[in-house]
Amino acid sequence: MQNYKHSLILLFLSICFFACEEDALELTPGNLSVLNYGDTVQLTANIDVDWKLMPEGLANISAEGLLIAGDSSGSFVLQAVSKGDETNRVEQDVFVSNRAESLNTLLEGGNIIYLRHAIARTGNDLFNLGPEGWHLSCSSDTARQLSPEGFVQAQELGDAFKRLEIPLEDTIYVSEYCRCIQTVEELGLDKPFVTEKDITFFVYDESQRHAKTQAFINSFTPTDKNVLLVAHSFGPGSTYQQPQQGYSVIFKKGNSEPEFQTVIRDDEFILLK
């Protein structure tokens, strides 16, 4: 009889455990991408939850899950915690930017990102005064190199690319200059790079660089990822808006030449890191 009672107790506890076990927390929508200033999103959960934003200030959320983006750029963590079990929780990164449309386009893939190298204020380019291959040098006596703020800028840009989870093709294409290669290295994207003459500044028939750069950009077949190029300002004859150091020019493949989309400043990325 005692064993029978013991078995009933175990059966009761097992039934209670499975009956009382809470469903895994799920949110809808599950990915908010990048919100524009003032955007509103109604969040729902499959169980009763408390909502929290960390840090506070970039948005507000009601007890019913209505999220309202503020009017400044940045990132925060949205947290939903089950009212019945504090260990049952979900977190997701949320971004707010007045460049939301362009950034969401990057998240969709199919673009060419032409990134001008990070800030280079150390040394001077020797141009025709230098020996053959001078542009390959990482010495400031021979060619302009990244400054200390350039290294920081590149690292912060890389942090933003990773935090946003911008999808990139497996290979990065880069000018032969040391300042461009170092920019790629400091981005820390863990992707191999190859150097490309057609986007290398001054060395290979500078008068034709713009046309060759256009042709190279337009040679990529769109996928659900983005192609990243790291190079310089545009060559002679360009009508595109010239990017400052650390700025990204966004293109899509066109019929005869690349379709210019927009320029994204370095800080518009870095604020979201």
pLDDT in tens, 2-16: 555 555 444 444 444
Report the candidate in 81, 270, 48 with the shortest Cα–Cα distance to residue 158. 270
Q: Please write the tens of the pLDDT for every residue from 166-218.
A: 999 999 999 999 999 999 999 999 999 999 999 999 999 999 999 999 999 99
Q: Which pair of structure tokens corresponds to residue 147?
A: 């400054």
Q: CB-based burial of residue 267 (10 Å sphere; 0-12 exposed, 13-18 middle, 19+ buried)?
A: middle
Per-residue pLDDT, averaged over 52-72, amounts to 97
Please report which confidence band the pLDDT of residue 224 belongs to, taking 50, 70 and 90 as the band edges. Answer: very high
Q: Please write the tens of the pLDDT for every residue from 226-253.
A: 999 999 999 999 999 999 999 999 999 9
Q: Which residues pair with 265 in a beta bridge?
A: none
CA pair distance 103, 125, nearest whole angstrom: 34
Q: CB-based burial of residue 185 (10 Å sphere; 0-12 exposed, 13-18 middle, 19+ buried)?
A: middle
**What pLDDT score does 24 carry?**
93
Please report which confidence band the pLDDT of residue 130 belongs to, taking 50, 70 and 90 as the band edges. Answer: confident
- Please check whether residue 245 is in contact with residue 117, taking contact to mean a CB–CB distance below 8 angstroms: yes
What value does the mean pLDDT of the chain take? 92
pTM: 0.89
Percent of the chain with pLDDT over 70: 92
**What pLDDT score does 2 carry?**
53
CA pair distance 232, 209, nearest whole angstrom: 11
